[in-house]
C-alpha cells in the first residue's frame, strides 16, 4: 500500500492543523504479564495455585479454542511527528497490510 510521507493533521500541542511527518515503527510482542494474557492462562488452568483446580485443572497446554496458523499480514503502527513543535503522536486505529511504501 502506498502512503504519503507528509500529512496535514491536528496537533494537540499546537492546537491547530499542521504538517506531520509519517514514520512506521515495528510492533513489539505483547508481554506475557499483561491482563489479557494472565486471564487467558487462568482460563486454561495454568495461572494459579496448587491442589484441585476443579473444572479449570484438566486442560491440555493447547486446547481447541486456540487459533491455528498465522495471519499473512501485520497491523500498521504509524508515528506522526509535528513539523512545528516536534511533538509526536501515535496512530489511532491500525489496519492490516502486507507492505507499506512511503511516497
Q: Which cell numbers hold the place of 61?
A: 497446554
Rounded CA-CA distance 57/48 in Å is 10
Burial 59-97 (b: 16+ CB within 10 A, else e): eeeeeeeeeeeeeeeeebebebebeeeeeebeeeeeeee
Neighbours of 25 (CB within 10 A): 11
Looking at the domain assignment, is residue 54 inside a domain?
no
Looking at the domain assignment, is residue 97 inside a domain?
yes
Looking at the domain assignment, is residue 40 inside a domain?
yes
Which domain range does residue 82 map to?
A: 2-47+75-102
Looking at the domain assignment, is residue 85 inside a domain?
yes
Looking at the domain assignment, is residue 87 inside a domain?
yes
The domain tally of the chain equals 1
pLDDT digit string (tens) for the chain, length 103 residues:
999 999 999 999 999 999 999 999 887 777 877 888 878 777 766 556 666 766 666 656 666 666 677 889 989 999 999 999 999 999 999 999 999 999 9
Looking at the domain assignment, is residue 20 inside a domain?
yes
CATH of the domain at 13: 3.10.450.80
Amino acid at each position: 500500500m502506498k502512503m504519503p510521507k507528509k500529512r496535514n493533521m491536528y496537533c494537540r500541542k499546537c492546537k491547530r492543523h499542521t504538517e506531520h511527518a509519517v514514520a512506521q515503527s515495528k510492533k513489539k510482542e505483547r508481554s506475557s504479564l499483561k491482563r489479557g494474557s494472565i486471564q487467558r492462562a487462568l482460563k486454561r488452568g495454568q495461572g494459579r495455585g496448587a491442589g484441585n483446580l476443579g473444572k479449570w485443572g484438566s486442560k491440555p497446554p493447547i486446547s481447541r479454542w486456540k487459533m491455528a496458523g498465522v495471519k499473512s499480514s501485520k497491523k500498521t503502527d504509524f508515528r506522526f511527528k509535528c513539523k512545528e513543535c516536534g511533538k509526536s503522536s501515535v496512530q489511532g486505529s491500525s489496519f492490516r497490510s502486507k507492505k507499506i511504501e512511503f511516497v
